[in-house]
Structure 1
């Protein structure tokens, strides 16, 4: 009888624990996944940098402000499109 209780009570106990605490475990897991996805997206944005259109618009603004010449603008534009 003792061996039977040792085999079935741990199983029953774990099932009861999963039923009672399962919702909390799922919520913690969901929060962890959300945090991980957020961190991954932020890292990708950081590494990806600016788009070619953003580089070209910044170069155009510098050209319009008279900070760079037309030749420098064309070089920056070609570099952004490469």
Structure 2
């Protein structure tokens, strides 16, 4: 350990971290090239060749030229994933038709609140609950 000082270790770790960061950026740009629907096949082939043959300049030029649309595509993909997730939750919970009117659970909660506040009696609650669940 004496022949490799601590400062060199930190320097090596910094360069390793930057290299990993660079790889993530390179893969992000390449996946964005292929995910882009506003580019044709020749455009995608050109950008891919540019990024592979001259990686530092190619990625920098791609980020300058198409960085804003890259962010828009990421945002649209995230919104689509969130919408799909919310639809799945609604379907799993059985509340996909919330616009069609209150669901049984909401009605039962409202009836329980009315019973707890004393607005309806226990018998009225049981009759309304039976009617709702029938």
Q: Scaled by the length of structure 1, what TM-score is found?
A: 0.51
* Alpha-carbon distance in 2 for matches of 1:37, 1:51: 26
Q: CA RMSD in A?
A: 3.1
- Number of residue-to-residue matches in the alignment: 56
Q: Which has the higher helix share?
A: 1
Structure 2 match to 1:11: 56
* Alpha-carbon distance in 2 for matches of 1:15, 1:51: 56
Shift of 1:13: 2.1
* Alpha-carbon distance in 2 for matches of 1:34, 1:15: 27
* Alpha-carbon distance in 1 for matches of 2:55, 2:109: 66
* Alpha-carbon distance in 2 for matches of 1:31, 1:51: 34
Asked if residue 26 in structure 1 is aligned to residue 71 in structure 2, the reply is yes
Q: Which runs of 5+ in 1 are unaligned?
A: 1-8, 58-69, 77-82
Structure 2 match to 1:45: 90
Q: Which has the higher contact order (CA 8 A, sep 6+)?
A: 1
Q: Scaled by the length of structure 2, what TM-score is found?
A: 0.34
Q: Provide, for residues 10-62 of structure 1, a one-character-per-residue CA deviation record: whole Å limited to 9, x for no partner.
A: 312211111111111111110011011111111111111255234678xxxxx
